[in-house]
Amino acid sequence: MKFNKKATGLFAALILSATFMAGCGCSSNQEGNTTPPVTEEQVSGASTSNNASDLIAHLSANGGWIFGATGDITVEQELIVEGAFHDKNLESNALYRKLALYAQDADHNVTDEYVLTLKDGMTVKSPNFNVVNGTIVGDVYVEVEGFQLNGKLDGNLTFATEEAKNTADINGEVTGNITVGNASDLVSSASISNEASDLVAHLGANGGWIFAATGDITVAEELVVDGNFHDKDIETNDLYRKLALYTQDAERNVEEEFTLTLENGMVVKSPNFNVMHGTIVGDVLVEAEGFQLNGKLDGNLTFATEELRESAEINGEVTGEISVK
Q: Is the pLDDT of residue 1 over 60?
A: no
Q: Average pLDDT of the chain?
A: 81
Res. 229 pLDDT band, cuts 50 70 90: confident
Domain limits, the chain = 12-180, 189-324
Contacts for 34 with CB less than 8 Å, ≥ 6 apart: none
Spatial CA neighbour of 250 closest among 178, 192, 175:
175
Task: Provide DSSP, 65-94.
Answer: SEEEESS-EEE-SPEEE-S--B-S-GGG--
Res. 57 pLDDT band, cuts 50 70 90: very high
Mean pLDDT of 148-157: 93
Q: How far is CA 52 from the centre of its chain?
A: 16
Q: Give the pLDDT of residue 181.
A: 66
Spatial CA neighbour of 69 closest among 154, 20, 1, 7:
7
Residues 229 and 181: their CA atoms lie apart, in Å, by: 15
Other CB atoms closer than 10 Å to residue 184's CB: what's the count? 8
Q: Is the pLDDT of residue 259 over 90?
A: yes
Residues 69 and 59: their CA atoms lie apart, in Å, by: 12
Question: Percent of the chain having pLDDT more than 70?
Answer: 78
Q: Is the pLDDT of residue 36 over 50?
A: no
Res. 13 pLDDT band, cuts 50 70 90: very low
Q: Give the pLDDT of residue 22.
A: 33
Mean pLDDT of 7-25: 34
Residues 72 and 113: their CA atoms lie apart, in Å, by: 9
Q: Rg for the chain (alpha carbons), in Å?
A: 23
Residues 146 and 85: their CA atoms lie apart, in Å, by: 13
Q: Give the pLDDT of residue 76.
A: 86
Q: Is the pLDDT of residue 42 over 50?
A: no
